[in-house]
Amino acid sequence: MIELRFANNDLIPTMGIGTWLSKPNEVYNAIITAIKAGYRHIDCAYIYKNEKEIGEALQFAFINGLVKREELFITSKLWNNSHEKAQIEPAIKQTLNDLQLDYLDLYLMHWPIAFKREFEQVKSIENLASLQDIPLEETWLGMAELKKNGLTKHIGVSNFSQKKLQHLIDTTQIVPENNQIEIHPYFQQKKMRGYCKQNNIVVTAYSPLGSRHLTKSENGISENLIIRNMAERYNCTPAQLILAWGMAQGISVIPKSTNTDRINENYNAVNVHLRPEDIDAINMVDENNRQSKGLFAVLPDGYYSYANIWDEDPFVLLKK
């Protein structure tokens, strides 16, 4: 298993399993299957609403000797309605209680978006909090306290633009240790990855196979002729080839699945080693096609827009 290094030389496996959209009655078996397959990196989040069942699976694995706690790298995330400083420690303690753990390996600010405390999801602008009311740097300083208190070994962010990462660094002098973002062959984020490398920020790729609709559509990544032909040459599946490409970029990938065969198939991507010229060929299929846009927080006359979430041209959304 290839691993990446944090600034303090702690390691994070490049292959992990994601748990977003994993149903509570399915995720238990998925975690046990993944651990048996060799996964040692598990990505969770409070808002996925399945951390209790993941915790039960972890306890089964520990008690039955499948793995030791110190052999696992477990990530979770702070949800948008817990950005106020007073809410940050209770939030991670809830996650730790649900996962039945004493500490996390990595805790992330899930989005650069704030909700009012009472609302896990938003339906009107009254449910939103602005970043003037709850600045990102104040939340980030609260995250740093969690690390000081031993509740998590590392802290980072998710869905942050380069501008927002730099803002945290400039205002707090605390560099995020990880940025978890959407990366796949159709959305490669080369500039972001370069920035993170320069600043010693480990990158984790969610949706490393593309979104569900992207991979199943007529023009999905797994149907791309370059990908399919190359997979045949490597005697692997298109999904394995895509994951191998991601790991070859020096990033950690966290494909989600609750299917036993697919969990094992994805893990075996660690055995696919691409030649430089094939990596270059996959690099050429980039379409700058963002699938996860954060539109759940974009409301008429609200504080958030596609442009200010991603710090990008607002017309990008119209072009997709």
Written as tens digits, the pLDDT of the chain (320 aa) is 689 999 999 999 999 999 998 776 899 999 999 999 999 999 999 999 999 999 999 999 999 999 999 999 999 999 999 999 999 999 999 999 999 999 999 999 999 999 999 999 999 999 999 999 999 999 999 999 999 999 999 999 999 999 999 999 999 999 999 999 999 999 999 999 999 999 999 999 999 999 754 444 445 799 999 999 999 999 999 999 999 999 999 999 999 999 999 999 999 999 999 999 999 999 999 999 999 999 999 999 999 999 999 998 755 444 33
At 235, the amino acid letter reads N
pLDDT, position 26: 93
Is the separation of the CB atoms in 143 and 107 below 8 Å?
yes
Q: Which two tokens stand for residue 52?
A: 């209790």
Concatenated DSSP letters for 111-124?
Answer: -S-EE-TT-SS-SS
pLDDT, position 315: 53
* Max intra-chain CA distance, the chain: 55
In this structure, are strands 17-18 and 41-43 parallel, antiparallel, or unpaired? parallel
Is the separation of the CB atoms in 116 and 134 below 8 Å?
no
SS (H, E, C) 186-254: CECCHHHHHHHHHCCCEEEEECCCCCHHHHHCCCCHHHCHHHHHHHHHHCCCHHHHHHHHHHHCCCEEC
Cα gap 259→206, rounded to integer Å: 18
Catalytic residue among 28, 46, 48, 206: 48
pLDDT, position 86: 97
In the block, tokens 């569900």 appear at: 212
pLDDT, position 318: 40
All structural domains of the chain, each given as residue ranges with its CATH number in brackets, are: 3-314 (3.20.20.100)
pLDDT, position 216: 45
pLDDT in tens, 46-62: 999 999 999 999 999 99
| 48 is an active site residue | yes
pLDDT, position 317: 42
pLDDT in tens, 146-158: 999 999 999 999 9
Cα gap 308→291, rounded to integer Å: 16
pTM of the predicted protein model: 0.95
pLDDT, position 187: 97
pLDDT, position 214: 44
Helix (H, G, I), strand (E, B) or coil at 137: helix
